[in-house]
């Protein structure tokens, strides 16, 4: 897949071991170093699934610096769902019946102090091009809330429960030993506070018609609570789909 350039940023698929190590290094900085205060010039975030994925690198075209990355695992259909990272934490029995091609989008991270919203926009443009070229029908992954204390996320979790739960036929069930179930924690969740408390990637999924599990999984190693997130491509509003294709064109 050719490189995509939009404004200040470019996205390309990693080529070779050096590119992969750069992505793994950035992931460690974002997921472990930044959250724990640890410093280690050589540490990497790596797992066995890296060899099964395509890795997208988002670089600052001015400096050439890697500012964000994510990985994509292709599945021919839901019959292969157990290969995914998400399947370690969620019972995805329902999604085994999903008939079309799928991509798990994982390990999305942005370098600390780089909060430019154009980084997320160019990532979605790249995904849109990829979806059009490969015929993918479902994007999914885990969206992470910082910390392992649900206090402070009451409005966000209540809004997810009330407005964005996965259809029953696809809905993930509990598998992990430690979870936070989405209860109606507030009678009337504050929409502004709820959206502000959600990770940017999750907000963009939801604005395109995405849906979530009915619980969050505690990941104490990474100090996060993550939520299974899915987006059926056919459900993306036509206006948003056109905008993404224009960015990807």
pLDDT in tens, 139-150: 999 999 988 998
In degrees to the nearest 10, what's the CA dihedral of 141, 146, 148, 150? -90
pLDDT of residue 52: 97
Domains of the chain: 4-248 (3.40.630.30)
With cut-offs at 50, 70 and 90, classify the pLDDT of residue 187. Answer: low
Side-chain half-sphere exposure of 216, counting CA atoms within 13 A: 27
Q: Could you read off the pLDDT of 89-108 as tens digits, one per residue? A: 999 999 999 999 999 999 99
Q: Please state, in angstroms and rounded to a whole number, the distance separating the CA atoms of residues 131 and 229.
A: 17
Residue 35 has pLDDT above 80, yes or no: no
Q: Which residue's structure tokens are 């790596």?
A: 46
State both tokens at 9: 């940023």
Task: Determine the Cα angle at 29 with ends 48 and 215, to 5°.
Answer: 65
Q: What is the pLDDT of residues 38-78, one digit of tens each?
A: 766 689 999 999 999 999 999 998 899 999 999 999 999 99
Tell me the two tokens of residue 239: 């206006």
Closest by CA to 211, choosing from 199, 194, 229, 190, is 229
Stretch among 123-127, 230-234, 239-243 having the lowest mean pLDDT = 239-243
pTM score = 0.94
């Amino acid at each position: 897949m050719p490189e995509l350039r939009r404004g200040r940023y470019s996205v390309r698929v990693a080529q070779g071991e050096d590119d992969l190590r750069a992505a793994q290094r950035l992931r460690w900085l974002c997921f472990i170093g930044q959250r724990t205060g640890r410093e280690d010039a050589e540490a990497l975030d790596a797992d066995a699934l890296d060899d099964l994925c395509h890795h997208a690198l988002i670089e600052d075209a001015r400096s050439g610096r890697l500012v964000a990355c994510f990985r994509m695992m292709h599945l021919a259909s839901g019959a292969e769902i157990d290969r995914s990272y998400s399947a370690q934490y969620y019972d995805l029995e329902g999604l085994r019946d999903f008939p079309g091609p799928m991509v798990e989008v994982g390990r999305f991270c942005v370098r600390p102090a780089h909060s430019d919203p154009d980084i997320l926009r160019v990532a979605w443009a790249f995904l849109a091009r990829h979806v059009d070229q490969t015929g993918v029908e479902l994007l999914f992954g885990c969206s992470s809330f910082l910390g392992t204390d649900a206090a402070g996320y009451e409005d966000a979790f209540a809004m997810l429960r009330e407005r964005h739960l996965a259809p029953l036929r696809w809905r993930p069930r509990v598998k992990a030993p430690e979870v936070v179930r989405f209860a109606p924690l507030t009678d009337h969740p504050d929409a502004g506070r709820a959206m502000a408390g959600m990770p940017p990637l999750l907000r963009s999924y939801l604005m395109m018609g995405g849906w979530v599990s009915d619980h969050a999984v505690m990941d104490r190693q990474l100090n996060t609570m993550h939520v299974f997130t899915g987006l059926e491509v056919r459900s993306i509003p036509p206006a948003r789909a056109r905008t993404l294709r224009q960015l990807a064109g």
